[in-house]
Amino acid sequence: MTVRSVSGDAQQILLASELIRLGARLQLLESETTLSRERLLKLYKELRGVSPPKGMLPFSTDWFISWQPNIHASVFLGIYRYLQDHARLSGIDTVIKAYRLYLEQMPPEPSEQPLLSLTRAWTLIRFFDNRMLSVQRCDVCHGQFISHAFQPRYGIRCGLCHPPARAGKRKRIDKTVEIDYSVSSGSNW
C-alpha cells in the first residue's frame, strides 16, 4: 500500500487547480496528477461550476499544420523550447509557464477562447516528444514553424510569409458590414 502525504496531496490539488483554471481537460489532469478521477471531477465542478467536457482529446497532427493554428502553435513551441533551454523547469511546469507567456503574447478577444487551448498545447508537446511533428526553418524569413516530421525540407515558406489566399478576409468583411450598418443607421428614415 502506498503511503500518501498531506503535503503531496496539497501540491497535486494546487497543480490540478491551476491546470483547470487554464482550461485543461480531464484527460490532461488524469495524466499529469496523481489525484483520482473522482477528486478531479469534484475539483473541476468546484472551480468551474460545471462538469468537464466529455469526449476524446484531439489526436491529429493536421490541426497544427493548418495556417492560423500553425502560427499560434509555433509561437507556443518557441516559448516552450526557450524555457526548456534556459529555465530550470521540467514537465508540466514548463507547459504551464509557456502557455501563460503564450497568452500574454497572443491574447484572445475579450469574449473568445484562445485559439490554442492548454490541452492542444500539451498535445503538441507530446507529438514532438513522439517525433510526429518537427520544426522547419522558413526559406524567406528564417523563422521556425511546425511541420510534419517527415516533410521535405527544401523550398519551404511559413504561413506568415505565404498566407493562404483567403487569410484575413473575414475580418475585412466584418468591418465592411459594420461600416455599412453605421452608414445606413445614420439616415433620416
Q: Comparing 60 with 104, which gets the higher pLDDT?
A: 104
Mean pLDDT of 106-112: 88
Please give the sequence-ordered ranges of beta strands (E in DSSP) within the chain, or none if there are none: 133-137, 144-148
User: Looking at the DSSP assignment, which residues form a beta bridge with residue 147?
Assistant: 134
Determine the Cα–Cα distance for residues 169 and 62; give it in Å rounded to an integer: 22
Least confident of 57-61, 114-118, 121-125, 165-169: 165-169
Mean pLDDT value across the chain: 84
Q: How confident is the model at residue 176 (pLDDT cuts 50, 70, 90)?
A: very low
| 184: pLDDT strictly greater than 50 | no
Instruction: List C-alpha distances in Å: 121 to 51, 94, 115, 145.
Output: 22, 11, 10, 14
- What pLDDT, in 10s, does the model give residues 158-170? 888 888 877 665 5
Tens of pLDDT, residues 7-33: 888 999 999 999 999 999 999 999 999
Residue of 61, 121, 71, 132 lying closest to 94 (CA atoms) = 121
Contacts of 116 (CB under 8 A, 6+ apart): 69, 72, 73, 76, 102, 106, 124
Among 96-105, 148-157, 173-182, which is the least confidently predicted range?
173-182
What pLDDT is stored for residue 44 in this prediction?
A: 93
**pTM for this one?**
0.80
pLDDT at 77 over 70: yes
Q: How confident is the model at residue 127 (pLDDT cuts 50, 70, 90)?
A: very high
For the chain, the domains span 6-48, 62-148
What's CA 161's distance to the chain center, in Å? 22
